[in-house]
Amino acid sequence: MKFADLGLSDELLQSVKAAGYEEPTPIQAEAIPQIQMMKDLIAIAQTGTGKTASFVLPMIDILAAGRRRARMPRSLILAPTRELAMQVAENFENYGKNHDLKMALLIGGVQMGEQVKALDDGVDVLIATPGRLMDLFERGKILLTGCELLVIDEADRMLDMGFIPDIEFICEKLPTNRQTLLFSATMPGPIKKLADKFLTNPKLIEVARPATANINIAQHKVHVTPRKKREMLRYLLKNDNVQNAIVFANRKTTVRELSKSLKQHGFASGEIHGDMDQSSRMAELDLFRKNEINILVASDVAARGLDVKGVSHVFNFDTPWHPDDYVHRIGRTGRAGAKGRAFTFVTDADAEAIANVEKLTGIKIPPYEMSDGDSKKPVRKAEDDADKSAEDKPEKPKRSRRKAAPAEEPANETVHEEAPQRKSRRKPSARNAEPKTSEPDVAEPQSAPRKTERSESVKPDDWNGPVPEFLAISALP
């Protein structure tokens, strides 16, 4: 099967070819003909299956057949996150470069002016996150009555994020004689209901989960105690031939603190999470794409769909709570046939979560064991630790301190240089000034190296540093 067999226009085939694709993925081969026949569609598919192109390509041909009108977009694509919406837009631009089609990207966190202007001029396709679309709609900037093609992307994610009422509201503003395409990785009850309500005789397409079968990703779980996570991460970053890596954490606060810690340890690291303003999010992503930083600490905002070329490693600094998220996260590496490595840190408290991951993926993730040589004396680590203790020991608290300091000191010590180098020992004053838990691991005794790393339990004596929040909670009756 070739793209040429799918009845796409010549202009489109050219841009597909220019993008380097010859053969459609299974979902593209199945979905494109259905969409061309104006059928409604439910597609069960994960990101990484070629899902986006499966609707973008036929849409371009369909839209090329008509004419745009001011404020009356002809089609609408809904995506759960801004980054995903941006990526869909990039796809549209890329594949549609031989067509005269206008697009508007309606996402929050950026000025409305340009978006409104685009709407006024008339667009063929709107690509939007629900919030901003609703906002503009309520301001009377959009008429959806001419919108005869609707795509709901990542519907289950939309459900998780509480967007279903918004989607229902939007669907009701669209003409009833329209084509609706719904993409979802899973089909929970509410999504089924949504489909029943807003789709007409939909054709159902299902393709296999990609990441589970992605043999290009070498997966490992690493048993650690919470306190040892950062040290283990630094160790792996230095010793596992990391070109660039996305490090996922479950909480935004963890993302912030971990990113700051990595910078302080001399890594060229950045961060992305939903509390950052949109321009910072884009800027960090851009630095990472350009390899000006090679480590991106991220919340799950970056877990799904994000397409960065050539990510060599994914680290789950926290085991994800939802097994689906595991699949999405590690899917950021091993893309387009490249090799990738994925490490998941597992504490005792994560036993159930990791079991769920293994159940979902159907594979037993092999534990990562450091070689003896490594565990006794990691060559570069030794001197690093010496250095570290010299710098960090003074910072170690003598007693417990208040736990809730404001989370944001600007971590402006970014060092853009190759990762393993230690950086300055400067700013001791600034660091002393912060009564914060930003470095629980620095308190570890220099003389207790690697062997405690996989110890089963945490003894009270270990707690001469601040108690990580989750442990403190789990210790309660």
Interface residues with DNA (CB under 7 A) are 80-83, 107-110, 129-135, 138, 160-163, 250-254, 273-275, 299-301, 321-322, 325, 353
Pull the structure tokens for residue 398: 């003598």
Instruction: Indicate the helix (H) or strand (E) that contains 344.
Output: strand 340-346
Decide whether 26 or 131 has the Cβ nearer to DNA: 131
CB of 95 to DNA, least distance (A): 24
For residue 414, what are the contacts with CB-CB under 8 A and spacing of at least 6? 263, 268, 269, 270
Of 26, 27, 29, give the one whose Cα is nearest residue 5: 29
Decide whether 133 or 346 has the Cβ nearer to DNA: 133
Q: Sheet of 125-128: strands edge to edge?
A: 103-106, 125-128, 75-78, 149-152, 179-184, 41-44, 203-206
Decide whether 57 or 167 has the Cβ nearer to DNA: 167
CB of 139 to DNA, least distance (A): 9
The 3-state DSSP class for residue 326 equals helix
CB of 106 to DNA, least distance (A): 7
Decide whether 271 or 444 has the Cβ nearer to DNA: 271
Decide whether 27 or 194 has the Cβ nearer to DNA: 194
Residues comprising the chain, all counted: 477
Helices (DSSP H) in 227-294: which residue ranges?
229-239, 252-264, 278-289
CB of 398 to DNA, least distance (A): 29
Q: Please return the burial class of 420, using the count of CB atoms within 10 Å of its CB with bins 0-12, 13-18 and 19+.
A: middle
CB of 109 to DNA, least distance (A): 5
CB of 259 to DNA, least distance (A): 13
Rounded Cα distance, 227 and 233, in Å: 11
Strand partners, 182: 42, 152
Decide whether 172 or 369 has the Cβ nearer to DNA: 172
CB of 250 to DNA, least distance (A): 5
Rounded Cα distance, 467 and 227, in Å: 9
How many CB atoms neighbour CB 415 within 10 A? Answer: 19
Decide whether 6 or 107 has the Cβ nearer to DNA: 107
